[in-house]
A and B are shown apart, each in its own frame.
Chain A
């Protein structure tokens, strides 16, 4: 299905089936058949590697933000040695603008559970943890119930579907820290520690949880797996944008009439998403800017949006990224200085504080932005801000510093006039 055809798209991740979140309904609608297939249909799935290969061919690009081919990531796991191996499912969902994985927890938890189980089998994993942000108490409870139900039905546990494969599945959760969405920070948090991201190498596939091979995937990434198994890699990769295929959960927020989460093919034109899918701009205002995929992805001006589609390639040409596909829409009244200050505040608040450029840089960025916002900025502050971003980018343990630097760099360069005007105004105000 091409992206242009999105109006006829029939959702698969969260299908239009009443009560699909209940395990019986899920099973009745073909749920857990993909798991059964990989575990028992030896003709189709000769070994666990064949599952990895299929998923790799489908090219499910990680939905957590980095867009890495899931099957390829799975193939990095070293051969099983009899010791424990882990799958850590990332349900931390804390990047501003992102609120999609919760829909899976709420409306179709079993598609994720099934996907995780298939992933676990494919990588010969012995224990799965799903790490959910602590604020999602409602969804934590839903997931606990869903996993218990799956245990009760024999989908999790010993010798699933009579195969020799056994696995455990536990829900764990955070307690308020955006950084724990960074995969190695999440591992530290899971291990009961402060969420300090780890230096890489070693990568989690070599040394993850408790020093053992571990793979981390986003909830949505895993939730796509059952349909890839059921319908084949070819089906998945035929949906949406070629380089970034498959359905995507778009989260749309900000100044639109119908904000929310939408399951649609990848590669939909941004303007279609705003004007058609999300019901157009609120109060008939004009569109000013869009952050396409969570607060760290560089903002685009309205005049940069023509022909840009929601997939990594198109967005890269436009000078931004798909990120989490959590799109934030801003109307003509939006004050870009205030908006950027709030983003810098977020990253300052959420830096784990482990490494210098991020701990110090995020605070410095916010303080200068506050000065500008309060009308005390000078034009030279803008260049200093840009300088600081270069001092942070690519020099830290994890990508939070980059995530903090990009919006500053790009919002200033793309809305330079507005920033300068605010600074000049203040220069006059002082006189």
Chain B
């Protein structure tokens, strides 16, 4: 398959490049543009990024493989990144992960047959106070998970209903 950036992408890429004195710093952001466009940064997409920026393909490959958020292969429509790190582990992150494995019928790292869900175990996402939690496809955080909340989430996603951004206040903050 031939991947190509749209005109809007290219415009955005120009804007990105303008932030830096050199082209190379655009590598990470443009990989993001590519992943947002194509859903992944498979080798072909890495090549497109290299070509667009005039950078060595090996460089782009090295960068793409260093960072875990870039999908180096195709993923399910919803990638569920379940945190099981320190605080989440203490608060039941593994229970949530196992529950999802059971519910979805896949192991962590796998994608459901219908291509709807990919399940991953990930490291701390910076939401430790709201553990256990997961992130959906590099976007929304779903916090304070329970089995019930997880089930509800899966039901919603099956219907392609996107959950809301969850705002969590600072407990002592009393806004006047």
Contacts and interface: CB of A to CB of B under 8 A. Distances in A.
Interface of A: 11, 14, 16-18, 84, 93-99, 102-103, 106-107, 133-138, 170, 172-178, 189-195, 210, 251-255, 258-264, 277-279, 291, 295, 326, 328, 330, 334, 338-339, 342-343, 346, 349-350, 352
Contact of B173 (A11, A95, A134, A326): A11
B117 interface: no
Interface string B63-96: 1001111100000000000001111011100000
B123 A349 contact: yes
Nearest to B64: A175
Contact of A14 (B29, B67, B69, B170): B170
B131 interface: yes
Given A16-B173, A16-B176, A342-B89, A195 B66 contact: yes
Given A99-B130, A178-B124, 18 more contacts: A11-B173, A16-B173, A96-B86, A97-B87, A99-B126, A103-B170, A135-B126, A172-B29, A175-B32, A175-B68, A192-B24, A192-B27, A253-B87, A253-B90, A260-B169, A338-B89, A346-B85, A349-B123
B22 interface: yes
A251 B85 contact: no
B31 A175 contact: yes
24 contacts: A17-B175, A18-B175, A94-B124, A97-B86, A97-B124, A99-B127, A99-B129, A102-B126, A106-B167, A134-B69, A138-B139, A138-B165, A172-B25, A174-B28, A175-B69, A176-B69, A176-B70, A177-B66, A178-B123, A193-B27, A195-B67, A253-B129, A255-B91, A261-B129
Nearest to B125: A135
Contact of B129 (A106, A260, A291): A260
Interface of B: 19-29, 31-32, 59, 62-63, 66-70, 84-87, 89-91, 123-131, 135, 138-141, 165, 167-176
A18 B169 CA distance: 12
Which residue of A102, A134, A291, A343 has the most chain B CB atoms within 10 A of its CB atom? A134
Nearest to B59: A193
Contact of A346 (B28, B70, B86): B86
A133 B126 contact: yes
Contacts of A259: 128-131
Contact of B28 (A192, A260, A326): A192
A137 B139 contact: yes
A96 B128 contact: yes
A261 B170 CA distance: 6
B116 to A, nearest CB: 21
A116 to B, nearest CB: 16
Nearest 8 CB-CB pairings of A with B: A176-B69, A176-B68, A175-B67, A192-B27, A253-B128, A259-B129, A192-B24, A96-B86
B68 A342 contact: no
B28 A16 contact: no
A263 B172 CA distance: 8
Nearest to B24: A192
B15 to A, nearest CB: 10
Given A96-B124, A252-B129, A330-B90, A175 B173 contact: no
